[in-house]
Amino acid sequence: MSQKIALVTGASRGLGAAMAQALAIRGWHIVAVARTVGGLEELDDSVKAQKLPGAGAMTLAPMDITNDDAMVHLCASVQTRWGGLQLWVHAAVHAAPLSPAGSLDTKDWDKSIAINLRATGVLVPLVAPLLIAGQGAALFFDDPRAGQKFFGAYGASKVAQIALARSWAAETVSIGPKVIIAAPAPMATATRARFFPGEDRSVHINPKDEAARLLALHL
């Protein structure tokens, strides 16, 4: 593969979109996965609008990562078309509304587990062979809010996701793929706004700037 290929799950907004755009600007071909078609199209338009020589193209994949059959089909298509991946950026997340642990909404709890944990567990075995074939790396994003009050559904499912990623990282030190767990700075995203409504967003970093920092630090 002459061009680097990156799979970005959760690419339609926030840090996922910023990572996809930053990689595309650097010449990567991005397989952008998200449920929101409009968000993916906006991402593609934003890259094209910059008209940068050498910018990578986008393959838009409007899919739900909790759909096992869709993820199997996606990864098989990546293998057939490119043979492997150089990077998987896993930014898909469900930010359940804040709630006391004693008042968890069952639907929010189930959705948190399905997106933040189960889908990750399904994707790792599917993506791992692609990263091995492409001598690539997987990038996850840690979050410090696990265990804080009212973050039960989000915090528990997110910390479980990162525990899975840490196990994978420990298992693949010698054999690959490389598994990176990054710690993003507080960003002015829609997810953070849901958690902290009314917060002064100007004091937090723009996701595009944070994406550039993380890429420089880890890749």
Summarize the confidence of residues 146-171 as an average pLDDT. Answer: 97
pTM of the predicted protein model = 0.95
Summarize the confidence of residues 8-12 as an average pLDDT. Answer: 98
Percent of all residues in the chain with a pLDDT value above 90, rounded to a whole number: 85
Q: Is 27 left (phi over 0), alpha (psi -120 to 50) or beta?
A: left
- CATH number assigned to the domain comprising residue 47: 3.40.50.720
Q: pLDDT at position 53, please?
A: 77
Q: pLDDT at position 50, please?
A: 84
Rounded CA gap, 198 and 116, in Å?
26
Instruction: Quick: pLDDT tens for 68-101.
Output: 999 999 999 999 999 999 999 999 999 999 999 9
Q: Which long-range contacts (CB under 8 A, 24 or more apart) does 69-75 make?
A: 71/119, 71/122, 71/123, 71/126, 72/126, 74/31, 74/33, 75/126, 75/127, 75/130
For residue 200, the enclosing domain spans 5-218
Domain count within the chain: 1
Residues 126/138, Cβ–Cβ less than 8 Å: no
Q: pLDDT at position 197, please?
A: 87
